């Protein structure tokens, strides 16, 4: 009787569709889901990641012997030898060169930002721009890079946004006369200050907290061009409270937000990052220290800076994932509104484990993600330390950071599976089960964006873009296509800013996604 029951159970299991575990490593990327790159014999750490329109991946960071490091990977995780000869760009321009942000222009040029120490031991903001082939773009400040002295003491760029016209928005901090301030600055495409921003291209926000030390760690820009600066403000008892400042697109403070453009939330925090939802509400992620441990911390604010009490527990979410120290690194919002956070678990006596957690839009744990809402990744004998997120056009998340291997750090880029249903045919095989039109990425966009879709079987596909009045703008696809995941590029150079709609038809089914073109 036992044998009969066992056989029946196996047959049923083999015929039931399964879902690939969302958040698990994607083995189609570098064979095991991780691309590890060693530059030299010192520590190599990636802090920033971006995805080109053609799907290639840029990771940027620095090395322990003062070098600037940039890698370009093909979409399968192999190094792109069309970039700098071997896929790796290395240069040495000063002491303690730190790269913390990267962005890609529509023409494929790469913008990097961070800070560097000069021969007089002053730290200044560093910005550089490379051509798509990995050489310096000398149309930017003649050399391709520039140091910017704000306080003539210690200045850093820690976050960046590059606009479609090539202008560069930077956020970080400046230190002078014992005071650390939030810094935001804007450059023109040629690297000179954009004086339409705050008169001289620079805005400093001081005295957010009474302790005189305000440390910025994150920035976000909403659909209206409003700028959110996030970090911590030191209190008189030396605790760092969570702090947010809202700046208008012209560099002035937005005094409709909080108290005189500032919100300070009592909590012992650090590593603060910020993201803006489609409805304009603000998500803040950070570490919070309490009860002799550190936890993941989420807060949601309304557009006026008040706590959104409909989120989590009266506006807050605090989660610990089974260890004393949970260190937060970055957060991002998926196109479906779900929130991803990444960081690592300090295992104290063994290498750190990468942690990725997902929350529903209301702040509740997404139990469908990984195991009980989180995924922990630790390959054998390797510690993983994540830095920041990016998304591919097909919605798959990428995380860059560094891996501890043989007592040194190497660049690491991890790709995770997305929410694509699969059905089991043969062991190890996957097949797309649902017809899906993915949200275009980036969105909003200018002038190009990627439109991804999944096909469960081979058939005729038609993908058309319409404007707000229902007029056909362009037919992107009109042919028979094979089953699987696909992505096409929509170029909108000649179109006016506004709403557009991507509509795909497949096997009698039709799906539509809204897209926003900014100019």
Helix (H) / strand (E) element for 11: namely helix 2-15
CA atoms within 13 A on the CB side of 95: 7
Q: How far apart are CA 38 and CA 71, in angstroms?
A: 10
Q: What is the largest CA-CA distance in the chain?
A: 84
- Strands (E) across 248-281 are located at 262-265, 269-276
Residue 459: per-residue pLDDT: 78
Q: How far apart are CA 306 and CA 265, in angstroms?
A: 10
| 221, 295, 314, 397, 400 from 362: Cα distances, Å | 22, 19, 11, 21, 27
Residue 60: per-residue pLDDT: 97
Residue 381: per-residue pLDDT: 67
- Strands (E) across 52-134 are located at 57-63, 67-73, 88-92, 95-104, 110-117, 123-130
Domain boundaries, the chain: 430-517
Residue 5: per-residue pLDDT: 34
Q: Which of 413, 319, 425 is nearest to 369 (CA)?
A: 319
Give the list of residues 6+ apart from residue 167 with CB closer than 8 angstroms, or none: 186, 187, 188, 189, 194
Structure token digits, residue 305: 């800076």
Q: What is the pTM of this model?
A: 0.78
Q: What is the pLDDT along the chain (519 residues), one digit of tens a residue?
A: 333 333 333 333 333 333 345 778 999 999 999 999 998 778 999 999 999 988 899 999 998 778 899 999 999 999 999 999 999 999 998 788 999 999 998 888 999 999 999 888 899 999 999 999 999 999 999 999 999 999 978 999 999 999 888 999 999 999 988 899 999 999 999 999 999 999 999 999 998 988 889 999 999 999 889 999 999 999 888 888 999 999 999 999 999 999 999 999 998 888 999 999 989 999 999 999 988 889 999 999 999 999 999 999 999 999 999 877 899 999 999 888 999 999 999 866 577 899 999 999 999 999 999 999 999 988 766 889 999 999 988 889 999 999 998 889 999 999 998 873 333 333 333 344 578 898 888 888 889 898 988 888 777 889 999 988 888 899 999 888 877 778 899 999 889 999 999 999 887 778 889 999 988
Residue 13: per-residue pLDDT: 31
Residue 197: per-residue pLDDT: 97
Residue 347: per-residue pLDDT: 66
Q: Which CATH architecture has domain 430-517?
A: Sandwich (2.60)
Residue 427: per-residue pLDDT: 32
Burial 480-504 (b: 16+ CB within 10 A, else e): ebeeebbbeebebeebeeeebebeb
Structure token digits, residue 15: 């015929």
């Amino acid at each position: 009787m036992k044998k009969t029951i066992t056989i029946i159970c196996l047959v049923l299991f083999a015929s039931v569709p399964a879902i690939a575990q969302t958040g698990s490593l994607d083995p189609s990327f570098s064979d095991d889901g991780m691309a590890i790159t060693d530059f030299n014999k010192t520590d190599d750490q990636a802090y920033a990641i971006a995805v080109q329109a053609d799907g290639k991946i840029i990771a940027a960071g620095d090395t322990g012997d003062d070098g600037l490091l940039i890698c370009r990977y093909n979409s399968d995780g192999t190094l792109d030898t069309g970039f700098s000869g071997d896929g790796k760009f290395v240069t040495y321009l000063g002491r303690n060169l730190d790269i913390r942000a990267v962005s890609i222009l529509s023409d494929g040029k790469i913008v990097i930002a961070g800070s560097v120490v000069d021969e007089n031991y002053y730290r200044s903001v560093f910005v550089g721009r490379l051509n798509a082939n990995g050489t310096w773009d000398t149309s930017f400040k003649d050399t391709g890079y520039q140091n910017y002295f704000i306080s003539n003491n210690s200045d850093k760029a820690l976050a960046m946004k590059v606009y479609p016209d090539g202008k560069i928005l930077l956020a970080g901090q400046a230190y002078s006369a014992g005071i650390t301030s939030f810094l935001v600055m804007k450059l023109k495409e040629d690297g000179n200050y954009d004086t339409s921003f705050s008169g001289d291209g620079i805005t400093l926000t001081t005295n957010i907290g009474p302790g005189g030390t305000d440390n910025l760690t994150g920035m976000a820009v909403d659909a209206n061009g409003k700028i959110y600066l996030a970090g911590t403000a030191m209190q008189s008892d030396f605790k760092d409270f969570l702090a947010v400042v809202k700046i208008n697109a012209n560099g002035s403070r937005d005094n409709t937000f909080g108290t005189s453009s500032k919100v300070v939330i009592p909590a012992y925090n650090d590593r603060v990052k910020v993201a803006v939802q489609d409805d304009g509400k603000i998500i803040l992620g950070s570490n919070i220290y309490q009860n002799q441990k550190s936890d993941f911390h989420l807060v949601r604010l309304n557009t006026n800076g008040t706590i959104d009490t409909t989120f989590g527990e009266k506006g807050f979410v605090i989660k610990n994932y089974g260890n004393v120290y949970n260190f937060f690194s970055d957060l991002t919002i998926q196109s479906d509104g779900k929130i991803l956070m990444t960081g690592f678990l300090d295992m104290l006596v063994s290498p750190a484990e990468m942690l990725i957690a997902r929350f529903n839009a209301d702040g509740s744990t997404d139990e469908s993600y990984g195991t009980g809402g989180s995924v922990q990744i630790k390959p054998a004998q390797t510690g993983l330390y994540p830095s920041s997120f990016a998304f591919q056009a097909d919605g798959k998340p990428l995380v860059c950071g560094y891996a501890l291997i043989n007592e040194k750090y190497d660049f690491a880029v991890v790709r995770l599976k997305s929410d694509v249903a699969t059905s089991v045919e043969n062991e190890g095989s996957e097949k797309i089960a649902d017809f899906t039109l993915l949200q275009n990425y980036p969105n909003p966009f200018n002038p190009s964006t990627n439109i991804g879709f999944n096909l469960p079987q081979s058939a005729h596909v038609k993908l058309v873009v319409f404007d707000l009045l229902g007029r056909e703008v362009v037919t992107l696809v009109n042919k028979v296509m094979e089953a699987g995941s696909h992505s096409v590029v929509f170029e909108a150079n000649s179109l006016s800013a506004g709403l557009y709609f991507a509509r795909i038809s497949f096997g009698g089914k039709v799906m539509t996604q809204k897209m926003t073109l900014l100019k």
